[in-house]
Amino acid sequence: MVRIRNLHFGYSKKHPLFQALNLSLDRGHIYGLLGKNGAGKTTLLKNIVGLAFPWQGTCLIDEQPAAARKPAVLEDLFFLPEEVYAPALTAEQFVAHTAGFYPRFSTEQLYEYLEELEVPRGQKLNKFSHGQQKKFMIAFALAANTGLLVLDEPTNGLDIPSKVQFRKILASALSEERCMVISTHQVRDLESLIDTVVVVHNREIVLNHDIDQLAERLTFARGAAAEAPGAFYQGASVGGPVAIRPNEAGAYSRVDLELLFNALTSGDATALHTYLNQPRHESVQ
C-alpha cells in the first residue's frame, strides 16, 4: 500500500533527516513505528501522507505519489497528528463539515467509539480536555474507515481505561483492507497490538520485521543466560541482566521491544543487523 523508495528529506540542507530510505507497508497489518526523539518519526509519517515533499525519491500510496494529494488518495487516508486541532464545533457540526471527505465514513461507528471511549456529547470540541479532544479525533479517524490510517503518538494523553478501550477498538478495526501505522514511545501500550516493528534510526529504516519472526530468531534472555558470551546486546533491568541472543534452542521468549530498540539504536548493532537480514536457516520443529 505504501512504497517509499530512495527517500531523501530534511528541513535544512545541512542536516538531512533521511538518506536513501526505503520502506514498504502493506494492508492487513498494524505497524509500530519507533525511533528516538528527533529521529524523524513524525517527519516520516508526513512524507507518507503527503504533508512533506521528498527532496529526492518517491513516497507512493497505491502507486500514486502522496505529495500530489489527489482526492482519490486523500479520501482513503487519515492522518492523526500528535497534537490535534479541535475547532469550536459540536461533534454533530464537525461531522457535518468533515465526514463528507471520507466516502466510507460511518456516523454510527463514530458514536459507538465515542461511547466506548467515554467522550461526552453535546459540548463544543474546543471545550473538551486535551485527552477528550484526542479521543474524539481517534474515534473520528477510525470511523473514517480509510485504507490507510496513520496515528502519531495516539496514546499520549489518554488515561488508563481509555488506553484499554483504544486497544480494543483498534484490534477490532483492523481488516485485510486496512493498513495502520502507529508511531509511539509507549511500546508497552501497544505491544500485543502491533504485528510489525519499524525502527527509524540514523537517517534510515534499521528494522522492519514481523514480531513473530523476531521471536523465532531471537532469544530475549534474563539472568544467568543473559551473561553468557555470544549476545548481540546486553543490558540491565531491575530483574537482573538481560540480553538479546540468537534463538538456537527454538524456545519462545517474548520480544522485549524496549531492549530491541536499545540494541538497534545504541552503539554497534552490525552483528544483529547482519543476523536478522541473512536468510533464515531451516529450523527443526
Partner 1 sequence: MEFRDNEAIYLQIAGYVSENILRQQWPPDDKIPSVRDLAGELQVNPNTVMRTYEFLQNQGVLYNKRGIGFFVAPDAEAKVKQFRRARFLQQELPELFKTIFLLDISLEELEQRYAQFKADQAAALSTAPTISNGHENQ
Interface residues toward partner 1, by CB under 8 A:
28-30, 164, 167-169, 171-172, 174-175, 192-195, 212, 215, 251-254
Decide whether 6 or 175 has the Cβ nearer to partner 1. Answer: 175
Decide whether 180 or 200 has the Cβ nearer to partner 1. Answer: 180
Residue 215 CB, shortest distance to partner 1, in Å, is: 7
- Cell readout for 102 is 471520507
Residue 159 CB, shortest distance to partner 1, in Å, is: 16
Decide whether 252 or 275 has the Cβ nearer to partner 1. Answer: 252
Residue 66 CB, shortest distance to partner 1, in Å, is: 25
Tell me the CB-side half-sphere exposure of residue 83, using CA atoms within 13 A.
0
Residue 124 DSSP symbol: B
Across-strand partners of 216? none
Decide whether 2 or 74 has the Cβ nearer to partner 1. Answer: 2
Nearest partner of 99 among 79, 116, 128, 75, judged by Cα: 75
Q: Give the number of other CB atoms < 10 A from CB of residue 24.
A: 12
95 membership: H or E segment, kind and range: helix 91-98
Residue 174 CB, shortest distance to partner 1, in Å, is: 5
Residue 142 CB, shortest distance to partner 1, in Å, is: 12
Cβ(56)–Cβ(44) below 8 Å: no
Nearest partner of 73 among 146, 174, 150, 151, judged by Cα: 146
Residue 172 CB, shortest distance to partner 1, in Å, is: 3
Across-strand partners of 59? 4
Decide whether 122 or 239 has the Cβ nearer to partner 1. Answer: 239
Decide whether 62 or 112 has the Cβ nearer to partner 1. Answer: 112
> How many angstroms separate the CA atoms of 244 and 235, rounded?
9
